[in-house]
Amino acid sequence: MGNVPENVRPAVELDPWLEPFAAVLSERRELADKWAGDIRGSLGAGREHTLAAFARDGYQQFGLHADARTKEIRYREWAPNAQRAFLVGDFNGWNTESHELTQRDQYGVFSTTIAPLASGDFAIPHDSRIKVLLVLGDGTQLYRLPAWITRATQPDKETARQYGPSYEARFWNPPTQYEFRHARPRFSRDLDSLRIYEAHIGISSPEPKVASYRDFTANVLPKIRELGYDAIQLMAIMEHAYYASFGYQVTNFFAISSRYGTPEDLKELVDTAHGMGLLVLLDVVHSHASKNVEDGLNRFDGSDHQYFHSLLSRRGEHPLWDSRLFNYGSFEVLRFLLSNLAFYVDIYHFDGFRFDGVTSMLYNHHGVGAGGAFSGDYNEYLSKERSDVDHEALAYLMLANDLVRELLPESGVTIAEDVSGYPTLCLPRASGGAGFDYRLAMALPDMWIKLLKEKSDDDWEMGNIVHTLTNRRHGEKVVAYAESHDQALVGDKTLAFWLMDAAMYTDMTVLKPLTPVVDRGIALHKLIRLITHTLGGEAYLNFEGNEFGHPEWLDFPNVNNHDSYHYARRQFNLVDDHLLRYRHLYNFDKAMQLCERQFKWLNTPQAYISLKHEVDKVIAFERNGHLFIFNFHPTQSFADYRIGVERSGSYRIVLNSDRPEFGGHNRIDEDNSKFFTTDLRWNNRSNYIQVYIPTRTALILALDN
């Protein structure tokens, strides 16, 4: 490896197949490192030269800021295509001349300071409506929501009738600011497990309504804690005018969604979660932005290329999402996006980010069409001739990871939603990687759905299941999941629906005999989730409601369903009804999370698989010193089944999917089940034990101390 550049040598030593592409990897790292140097150098003498200082400087200087001591209000806005700018709103009767931003620098940054009233009060009342009026060179006037606004709300019906449905900017300056009481939970990226509960605030109620931050704090946080998760991933927090976009068409990046409540309500939610020991991650959307002009960033200053690539190029618009694409090579765009991350860490105390649409960011083809058919050939990612990587977007992602490390050096978490398998994405920046902690294991839910759709139980291939669950890059961690919000959406089906379909409406009551469909569905739902949890990655994710097999899909109110909220909710009440079998799946999910908390297999080296028996449909493996046994056979139970195990001693059952509280048949006498190793090699292991493993049952065994 004499010709490998030093700045990527650790990555190449970990994966020697990268050696032919070491120069490309080095160039990509050098671009991010150069940008980081330029950013630090821009801060001037006497400043802390860090990405964190740069990012914080952005949100602290741009937008509207109230000085509690002087009662002055500062406002700063970047609009290079504008010649003049005015602040208008309720406070000045929407006067278009009274409050001009008289200072304009060479980069098109406008600023002003608004003095207090004669009474000594702020000139702009808290929560009053405001806009910025931009005047272009030809005299055109544009009314815009300030780009860095921290509060935007839906107009009332009368305003919407007269002026349209566009969101309204609000000057958020409450007389009493929320004070955080709880410290962030301690978390080690190297040692601690990450069990993530993915949630959407608005649907987090059994009632057909938009739930609030306060609803979530009072009713859902206790459930998440009880279930044993240690992190929450909140979706659809950044303001989005169209509710049915699931939060992925962001209009106001620094404003949290007002449909759920106030900024103070969200702060209380995060603070309460921290008090429960839960990390809180933000599903951040920096891959694209809403096309909305009236209440978004699109054509903010009249040009089509201020925050985004020009529409004259293929880089300015996503071909499938009908959205605008950021120009990551622009210094001011870097300021905006990096500041956005720092803002959510500092102001709302988020503990990290799940970056949406990373595949779209990484490639100029955005993962669409023939360019998105990734085979795993390294040339698709790293060849100068064949790859179509957006080097500027990749450099931004590297800087974003650097920033999170600076802001939260001990505990910050970053997760990439990438389906392409880009090599080195989840290696440390210092090693030559992009710096993410994890990527989502997006092939896993596809595998399970494909099996349920296309194959009978007898035809499930144990080898293929194991291969898909373990097929990840050495040294790069993944978040395993059997299904996420994607599989819950209308047009698709959750695993529970694939397994039980209409029987979920008629046969889930314990007052009726257990039907074969529901019996199979509950059993396989448990096995699929447990083997994904134990074998599929270094972290685990569940979408809210799926832990108990939520019986319906997710469909937001829209014109096609007559604006109904019937399917835009999670029916947690089903778990509380002890006459329904949903509680059995809930109980199992809780036991699974708590078992991992005690015995730990996530964030440990990959499992050693000792058995993939295609006829018996049995899979066995060891991870972190524990033994995992799965019997997927639809009809056959096995007595005294021989399982190889490396460590000798006495083993006991610590989790058994066949327990009655999990909807099982209680076929194993756990009180009298102790398994002693025999000193004879079996399946490439130094010892073996013999166990009774009923049909469609999973066991976790641990050594007695």
In terms of C-beta density within 10 A (0-12 exposed, 13-18 middle, 19 or more buried), how is residue 252 classed? Answer: buried
Same fold, 195-599 and 608-703: no
Please count the other Cβ atoms lying within 10 Å of the Cβ belonging to residue 120.
8
- d(CA 306, CA 80) in angstroms, rounded, equals 8
Q: Which residues are CB-contacts of 516 (< 8 A; sequence separation ≥ 6)?
A: none
Under the banding of pLDDT at 50, 70 and 90, the label for residue 45 is confident
pLDDT band at residue 13 under the 50/70/90 scheme: very high
CATH number for the domain formed by residue range(s) 54-171:
2.60.40.10
What are the start-end ranges of the E strands in 533-582?
Answer: 539-543
366-411 pLDDT, tens digit each: 999 877 888 889 999 999 888 899 999 999 999 999 999 999 998 9
Sign of the CA dihedral with 494 first, then 495, 496, and 498 last? positive
Which of the four pLDDT bands, split at 50, 70 and 90, describes residue 336? very high
Return the pLDDT at 160. Answer: 83
Q: Which one-letter amino acid corresponds to residue 509? A: T
**Residue whose C-alpha is closest to residue 678's, from 650, 654, 703, 698:** 650
What's the one-letter identity of residue 177?
A: Q
User: Mean of the pLDDT values across residues 641-668?
Assistant: 97
Do residues 289 and 307 lie in contact, with contact meaning Cβ atoms separated by under 8 Å?
A: yes
Does pLDDT of 47 surpass 90? no
> Burial letters for 46-80: b for 16+ Cβ neighbours within 10 Å, e otherwise?
eeeebbbbbbbbbbeebbbbbeeeebebbbbbbbb
**265, 417, 547, 658: which one is catalytic?**
417
Any bridge partners for residue 521, and if so which? none
Name the catalytic one among 198, 215, 356, 418. 356
| Pairing between β-strand 539-543 and β-strand 195-200 as defined by DSSP bridges | parallel
List pLDDT tens digits, range 456-479: 999 999 999 999 999 999 999 999
CA dihedral (517, 519, 524, 530) in degrees, to 10, reads 150
CATH topology of domain 608-703: Immunoglobulin-like (2.60.40)
According to DSSP, residue 547 is labeled G
Residue 194 neighbours by CB distance under 10 Å: 25
- The helix-helix angle for 331-347 and 391-407 (nearest 10°) equals 30
Judged against a pLDDT cut of 70, whether residue 447 lies above it is answered with: yes
Closest by CA position to 545, among listed 564, 520, 563, 571: 571
Question: Percentage of the chain with pLDDT > 90?
Answer: 90
How many angstroms separate the CA atoms of 438 and 433, rounded? 12
- In angstroms, the CA 629 to CA 607 distance is 12
Cβ count within 10 A of residue 128: 16
Check if 380 is active-site: no
Q: Is 226 a catalytic residue?
A: no
Mean pLDDT over residues 427-433, rounded?
A: 97
Task: Give DSSP secondary structure letters for 332-385.
Answer: HHHHHHHHHHHHHHHHS---EEEETTHHHHHBTTTT-GGGG-----THHHH-TT
Ordered by start, the domain boundaries in the chain are 54-171, 195-599, 608-703
> What is this structure's pTM?
0.97
pLDDT digits (tens, 9 = 90+) for 95-147: 999 999 999 999 999 999 999 999 999 999 999 999 999 999 999 999 999 99
Q: Of 59, 132, 138, 140, whose CA–CA distance to 100 is shortest?
A: 132
H or E segment at 224?
helix 221-227
The mean of the pLDDT values for the chain is: 95
- Please say whether the structural domain 195-599 has been given the CATH code 3.20.20.80: yes
Q: Which residues are within 8 A (CB) of 225 and not within 5 positions of it... i.e. 6 or more apart?
A: 276, 277, 278
CB-neighbour burial class of residue 27 (10 A; exposed 0-12, middle 13-18, buried 19+): middle
Give kind and range of the element (H or E) at residue 477.
strand 477-480
For 278-303, the pLDDT digits (tens) are: 999 999 999 999 999 999 999 999 99
Strand-pair category, 413-416 with 650-656: unpaired
Chain-centre distance for alpha carbon 489? 16
Which whole number is the average pLDDT over 74-92? 98
- Token readout for 312 is 């004259």
pLDDT of residue 451: 96
The answer to whether 229 touches 573, Cβ cutoff 8 Å, is no
Q: Confidence class of residue 571 from pLDDT cuts 50, 70 and 90?
A: very high
Check pLDDT > 70 for residue 1.
no
**Which amino acid is residue 702, in one-letter code?**
A
Type of residue found at 401? N
Whether residue 312 is predicted with pLDDT greater than 80 in this model: the reply is yes
One-letter amino acid at 447 equals M
Q: What is the pLDDT of residue 485?
A: 87
Q: Kindly state the tokens that stand for 307.
A: 């925050």
| Tokens 């099982």 belong to residue | 664
